[in-house]
Amino acid sequence: MIIGVPKEIKTDEYRVSVTPAGAAELIKEGHTLYVQNGAGEGSGFSDAEYEKAGAVLLSDAAELFRSADMIVKVKEPIPSEYGLFKEKQILFTYLHLAADRVQTEFLLEKKIRAFSYETLEVNGNLPLLEPMSEVAGKMASLMGSVHLGKYHGGSGLLAGGVVGTHKAKVMILGGGVAGKAAAEVAAGLGADVTIVDINMERLHYLNDVMPSNVATLYSSHQTIKDLLPHCDIVVGTVLIHGAKTPKLITKEMLCLMKKGSVLVDVSIDQGGCFETSHPTTHTHPTFIKEGIVHYCVSNMPGAYPHTSTYALTNATLKYVKALARYGAQNVCKEVPVMISSLNTYDGVLYNKAVGDAHGISSKTFV
C-alpha cells in the first residue's frame, strides 16, 4: 500500500504521525511511504532521517494526497485540506467528529474510509487516546498553575504556596488517564487536589494510589457547585467514548468562582465540559469570561511534540500496519478492534455517538 504522511498544518501543531523508525518498519513490510518535506521537523526528525529509512520525500501536499492510498495524520483534516482528499481514500487520525459536523459531512460526502484514534477500544480502554490524555493531563495542571499568574489574568496565587501562605485548591473533573495525570502533577506542585468522578471503582483505586494531598469525591451537580467557590483551578477531563462532552460547569456557575480562577478544558476536542469554552491555540491559549481565565487549547500535546509524537506512534503503529496490510475492506474482519475505530466508510456513518450528536443516521458494522 502507498501511505502518505503529510505535514500537519493545524495552528501550532508540530507532531508527526509516523517516526523515521516507524517508517522503516512499514517499508520493511513492503509498503511505500511518502512523507512531506518538513513533516517531522517540529518533533525533531529531519528529512534525511526519513530518507535513510527508505521513505520518499515530496514537497507538494497535493501530490502526496493524490498518490497515497492511505493518509496517516495526527489531527483532523481542516477545511483547507478537504480538497486534497480523493474519494474512498483511507484516513487514520484523531477525528473528534461529535464536536465537528462540518468535518463529518465532508467525510461522508467524499466517501472517505475514516478510522479514528480516539474511538479505538480494546478491553474497555482507549489505547490510542491514552498517551495523549496523559500528556494533556500533566500539562493541564502546569498550564493552570502558570495562568494563575497575575500577568495572565489570574489571581496571583502560587499553586504550591510557600511557608505561611495558602496553597491552591484544584478540582479535577474525571478520574481517567488525563484526570489521574493532572492530579499527580497538581499534587506534586503542592496544591490541595480533589478528583470527582461517578465511577466508584475508579475512585477506590485513585484513593489507594494518590498522595495524601489528593481527595476523591463522588461527582454530582451539587458536589461540583459546593466545591467551585473554593477552587483556584478546575481541570475538565470528562470523556464519553466518541460522544460530545456534557457541560458540567455552566455559564451561570462561573459566578460561584473566585475572580482570577482558572478553568482548563482538556475535553475541548469533544466539545468541552464547560459551557463557556471555545477552542484556543498555543499562541493565544486563554480568554477571560466573568473574570475566570479559560485555557481551552484544542491540541495541548502539540506543545511538547517530541514526547507526544513518540508516545502516540508507539501506540498507533501496529494499527497503521494492520490497515496497510489488510486494507479498509478487510481490516475489521482480520483485526476486530478496528470496528470501534471505523467512523465513516463510502458515505455511511458507523459511529452511533457521532450520529446522535448531529442527527445523522448511522449503521452498525457486520
Q: Active-site residues: which are they?
A: 96, 269
Pairing of β 262-265 and β 233-236: parallel
Cell of 269: 476536542
- Residue in 76, 47, 132 with CA at minimum distance from that of residue 307: 132
Q: Which residues 6+ apart lie within 8 Å of 188 measured at CB?
A: none
As a whole number of Å, the end-to-end CA separation of the chain is 25
d(CA 194, CA 275): 21
Q: What angle separates helix 305-334 from helix 20-28, to the nearest 10 degrees?
A: 30
Q: 207 CB contacts (<8 Å, ≥6 apart)? A: 216
Q: What DSSP assignment string belongs to 86-113? A: -TT-EEEE---GGG-HHHHHHHHHTT-E
**145, containing H or E segment:** helix 130-146
Q: Which residue shows C-alpha cell 506543545?
A: 303
Return the C-alpha cell found at 357: 450528536
Q: Would you say the C-alpha torsion 278, 116, 134, 37 has a positive or negative sign?
A: negative
Q: How far is CA 299 from the centre of its chain?
A: 6
**Would you call 300 helix, strand, or coil by DSSP?**
helix
Cα angle value 69/74/75 (rounded, 5°): 105
Using DSSP bridges, classify how beta strands 214-218 and 233-236 pair: parallel, antiparallel or unpaired. unpaired
DSSP 177-223: HHHHHHHHHHHHHT-EEEEEES-HHHHHHHHHHS-TTEEEEE--HHH
